[in-house]
Structure 1
Amino acid sequence: MRGEVMRGQLGDTDLRLLRIFRKVVECGGFSAAEIELNISRSAISMAMSDLETRLGLKLCQRGAMQMLAAAEGFRTRINGLHAWLKGELNIGITDNLVTMPEMHITDALSALKGHGPEVMINIRMIPPNEIERAVLDGRLHTGVIPTLKTLPGLEYRSLYEETSCLYCARGHVLFREPRAGDTLARGRPVGEEEIRQHDAVLPAYAQTPAIKALHEPLKAAASATDREGIAFLVLSGRYLGYLPTHYAERWVRDGQMQALSPVANSYVTYYSAITRKSRRQAKPARRAQAARESKP
């Protein structure tokens, strides 16, 4: 009932209102949240007013979001006492890992669903630094990110190695049409000085010092916040750019992309699964982790 004040415990209505508030915060306002939530702005405003009334205080973004994470975590832990898995598993994953041949996240999710059909799995594709923050403050139970640095509040479990190479696309002056019997489809030798002369797209996300050093000789003419953005620009035929080999494979196979001196222009990124330290994992998260670790 509208105007009812909570009396010492959070019910489903309170959690629903807190989730709406969380989405407003994540989207940066009512307008963007209106699209994400698929409800009107007036309905969102009324929900926020109801939430303030029920809480008996003005909303503080960080405090309310921590309250929601704690409440959902408590409910998940209580459900975890039962033999049958219930609750939520909130996962953050870096973009464009699904094409990695060694990727076993799907196997872990399948095993989890088999053990707990009622588990609500929520996956968010977001940048690594946001995944780290969300795991630290409890909004995510686990995440998969490149291992660029280690934070003291997180546990890291090694998962994969990912190789990236420098690519150009059909239409670029450095692209060479392969002939019968040659290996240009897999890469062609190009001198470093020649590469420096052509526009390149650089990543606008965190990289290790070694990977940054490999990008420094390139002629920076564009940037992208993720690998898909880099692929868009490379496929324009106007830019060079580094992409994971497993991600570029579809275009290489179709003759749309070509690696440039792949031995000299390549690097390896290491990926880890992260969880928060000093917090007993929810049962669905532990089950998913066990399924991951059982894979070779």
Structure 2
Amino acid sequence: MKRSSLSGQIADIDLKLLRIFKTVVECGGFSAAEVELNIGRSAISRQMSDLETRLDMHLCQRGRSGFQLTEHGRLVYEATQELLVDLEKFRANVNAVHSRLIGELTLGLTDNMLTDPNSPVVDVLGAFHQQEPEVKINLQVAAPNEVERAVIEGRFNIGIVPQHHELPGLEYYDLYHETSLFYCGHNHPLFNTPAARLSLNTISQYDFIAPGYTHSVMLKEQFPQLKACATSYQVEGIATLILSGQYVGFLPKHYAALWHDKQLIRALLPDTLSYQVPFKIIVRRDSRPNLLRLALLKAFKESDITPL
């Protein structure tokens, strides 16, 4: 039997249902989407059923076996992505004929940037909202590689990441530098060792935590004496291992300040064991003009703060 095609105009309720469906797919199921959508699972299930009725299609399998898209669901998800991108392009184009900016802008940040006094992000976003109060900022925090991928795919308009490489699909703009020092915990044998007795050769005898993110390659080249005995992909994971008193490793200076001020960790050979990572603004190369993105990018490029 031939299915009936989508009839009538696409209404606001249809767009709402499609956005809910997109969120459920990207969260991997109803349970995970509850927090993202801020509505209960039963309400999500009901609205998904309404969408399936509206489209006359079975979009997903849900039950004890987990959440899984049907073939129709996969096609509707891809069409939904295209539709929402086109709607945002339409809104951006309409903005061009107005003297004020209206719409939503998605900014992707790397975690653990907030405590860095060199970062202008807080000041820029505050000033930008005062200047453009009708622009809604959708702020997302993710790992650097996830931010890069989201910008390339068009899900994020702008990203801010520590730069360890340059991808051909992105444009990079300078923002600030983050300084990292080498630390041990207060229970570590090196914590009370006099500075005069510390050397790179001595420190290299102890278990080192290698960051799982990209600049571990740079550390191997710059400090080949350090031998990794543990790995973490998150700054908080490295801090946890350092505080255990069994490992030494690098932490951003601003992030480590809390424990350093409480004398729970110590920086070792700060004049030697340190490095800087540039943080960059990234946008997708060859993307279509977007006034919202251009306005925020301009605000970041013109930011002028005095490092503390």
TM-score by length of 2: 0.81
Give the letter aligned to residue 283 of structure 1. Answer: L
1:227 and 2:241 correspond: no
**Residue in structure 2 matching 1:97, options 109, 113, 137:** 113
1:127 and 2:135 correspond: no
3-state SS, counterpart of residue 167 of structure 1: strand
Q: Name which of structure 1's ranges 113-122 and 15-24 shifts more when overlaid on structure 2.
A: 15-24
Q: Residues 104-119 of structure 1 correspond to what in structure 2 (within 5 A)?
A: 104-119=120-135
**Structure 2 partner of 1:277:** 285
Count of residue pairs brought into register by the alignment:
285
**Structure 2 partner of 1:140:** 156
Deviation by residue 1:244-285 (Cα, 9 ceiling, x = unmatched): 112212322332221111222222211110111222343222
RMSD, matched Cα: 2.8
1:204 and 2:220 correspond: no
**Structure 2 partner of 1:263:** 271
Structure 2 contact 201–225 (Cα < 8 Å) conserved: no
1:151 and 2:167 correspond: yes
Relative distance call for 1:248 and 1:150 in structure 2 (3 A) is same
Give the letter aligned to residue 251 of structure 1. Answer: W
Give the letter aligned to residue 16 of structure 1. Answer: K
**Structure 1 partner of 2:62:** none
> Whole-Å Cα distance in 1 between the matches of residues 236 and 35 of structure 2?
23
Report percent identity of matched pairs.
43
Relative distance call for 1:255 and 1:100 in structure 2 (3 A) is same
Structure 1 contact 52–59 (Cα < 8 Å) conserved: no
Relative distance call for 1:164 and 1:23 in structure 2 (3 A) is same
1:39 and 2:39 correspond: yes
**Structure 2 partner of 1:181:** none
> Whole-Å Cα distance in 2 between the matches of residues 71 and 52 of structure 1?
22
Unpaired runs of 5+ in structure 2? 58-71
Deviation by residue 1:32-71 (Cα, 9 ceiling, x = unmatched): 2223323233332333343445556622245533433332
> Whole-Å Cα distance in 2 between the matches of residues 236 and 18 of structure 1?
47
Give the letter aligned to residue 285 of structure 1. Answer: R
> Whole-Å Cα distance in 2 between the matches of residues 70 and 97 of structure 1?
32
Relative distance call for 1:144 and 1:189 in structure 2 (3 A) is farther
Q: Name which of structure 1's ranges 225-234 and 77-86 shifts more when overlaid on structure 2.
A: 77-86
**Structure 2 partner of 1:244:** 252
Q: Name which of structure 1's ranges 73-82 and 251-260 shifts more when overlaid on structure 2.
A: 73-82
Relative distance call for 1:270 and 1:72 in structure 2 (3 A) is same
**Structure 2 partner of 1:59:** 73
3-state SS, counterpart of residue 75 of structure 1: helix
**Residue in structure 2 matching 1:168, options 170, 174, 184:** 184
Give the letter aligned to residue 33 of structure 1. Answer: A
Give the letter aligned to residue 248 of structure 1. Answer: A
Q: Residues 13-32 of structure 1 correspond to what in structure 2 (within 5 A)?
A: 13-32=13-32
3-state SS, counterpart of residue 262 of structure 1: coil
Offset, 1:219: 4.1
1:292 and 2:300 correspond: yes
Unpaired runs of 5+ in structure 1? 179-183
**Structure 1 partner of 2:64:** none
Structure 1 contact 230–243 (Cα < 8 Å) conserved: yes
Structure 1 contact 89–119 (Cα < 8 Å) conserved: yes
Structure 1 contact 108–289 (Cα < 8 Å) conserved: no
**Structure 1 partner of 2:48:** 48
